[in-house]
Structure 1
Amino acid sequence: MSPDTHPNAVLTRRLYELAGAGDLPGYLALLADDVVFHIGGDCVVTGEHRGKDAIVRLGALVNEETAGTFRTGLLSVQANDSHAVTLHRWTAERRGERVEMDNFIVYRFERELVAERWEYVSDQHAHDTFWRR
């Protein structure tokens, strides 16, 4: 099975589709109840966001801070039985600034659900400056 057609690659693509469509219930259905999103750096989105309620709060924060301008475009995904790695480009506007940046994300799966997610940005300083407190 090819890493870009693996079932976890299909599931990961579905996450991006649901997020892009604004389908929060569909997106949350693909996350484990105790899911953890890890975001490094020193800014308003930094931290370990634990559980679906925390993920909803994170999404609301991003939407509020960017006045709904945050967009993510999936560029590629590779997966195996336990993990997927994506490369995506995101854009947003905040406080009169616009950013466009590539990130990669590592997803870990348990029982066909996202259990954990680590976000890595191409320019941590620019990321932190954009999302500054």
Structure 2
Amino acid sequence: MTHHEHPDAALVRRGYEAFSTGDMETLASLMTSDCTHHSPGESQMSGHFKGRDNVLAHYGQLMELTNGTFRVEVKGIYPDGRGHVMSVHKWHADGTDRGIEMEGGLFFTLIGGKISDIDECVADIVESDAFWGTG
């Protein structure tokens, strides 16, 4: 069977690749200027990060708090053909006192061929909060 990747799925895949290689210029080019990332929980990494620059700063903080060890392993990318894409992944990181490995996912809204909203979900919010701490 031949697999034809939908353009929205391809865009999200490019985003993951840019994130994973630290190519923030490419990642920024895939987002609207008012893009928002919503992170679950009550930790220092939780909240609503509004605007492309704030979203990218949030990603930079992921790397800073884990001494560059934060990484994601994509498991699947699923478009609906109407401007939404779900992705599932496993994320890994080492903190100051321990490591973490957790399943998670992102729900993307695309407008005009760019990412405008990202809702993040994690398998265990309490464990994620404990890892990230309150700062």
Q: TM-score, normalised by structure 1?
A: 0.95
Unaligned residue ranges in structure 2 (runs of 5+): none
Aligned CA distance change for structure 1 residues 4 and 83 (closer, same or farther; 3 Å): farther
| Residue 31 (structure 2) pairs with residue 27 (structure 1) | no
Aligned CA distance change for structure 1 residues 3 and 53 (closer, same or farther; 3 Å): farther
Tell me the matched-pair count.
132
C-alpha separation in 2, matches of 1:103 and 1:64: 20
Q: Which amino acid aligns with 1:13?
A: R
How far off its partner does 1:3 sit?
A: 9.5
Classify the secondary structure of the residue corresponding to 1:20.
helix
2:113 counterpart residue number: 112
Aligned pairs for 1:1-133 within 5 A: 5-79=5-79, 80-133=81-134
Identity within the alignment, %: 27
How far off its partner does 1:84 sit?
A: 0.2
Structure 1 runs of 4+ off > 6 angstroms?
none
CA RMSD of aligned residues (A): 1.5
C-alpha separation in 2, matches of 1:40 and 1:4: 32
How far off its partner does 1:56 sit?
A: 2.1
Aligned CA distance change for structure 1 residues 3 and 128 (closer, same or farther; 3 Å): farther
Classify the secondary structure of the residue corresponding to 1:32.
strand
Unaligned residue ranges in structure 1 (runs of 5+): none
Classify the secondary structure of the residue corresponding to 2:108.
strand
Preserved contact between residue 4 and residue 78 of structure 1 (Cα < 8 Å): no
